[in-house]
Amino acid sequence: MRVVVNFELCEANARCMAACPEVFEVDDGDQLHVLIANPPESLRAKVEKAAASCPRAAIRIAEN
């Protein structure tokens, strides 16, 4: 699994961080960081929840 973020869509509202802080972090400067680009399967449910909770649809999960 690979996390792909469209940073041009991201508005740094941190919904993804609320759903999966292991992978998504919004810093004090409102910049999103993907902490784990290739998360383990054990985090799939949380990453999917993060993607679903993004109001900008900026998060995509690729399977490679």
- Closest distance of CB 56 from ligand SF4, Å: 4
Is residue 10 near ligand SF4 by the rule CB under 6 A?
A: yes
Q: Supply the DSSP string of the chain, one letter for each residue.
A: -EEEE-TTT-----HHHHH-TTTEEE-TTS-EEES-SS--GGGHHHHHHHHHH-TT--EEEE--
Per CB under 6 A, does 61 bind ligand SF4? no
Residues 21-50 that bind ligand SF4 (CB under 6 A): 24, 26, 32
Q: Which residues bind ligand SF4 (CB under 6 A)?
A: 5, 10-16, 24, 26, 32, 54, 56, 58-59
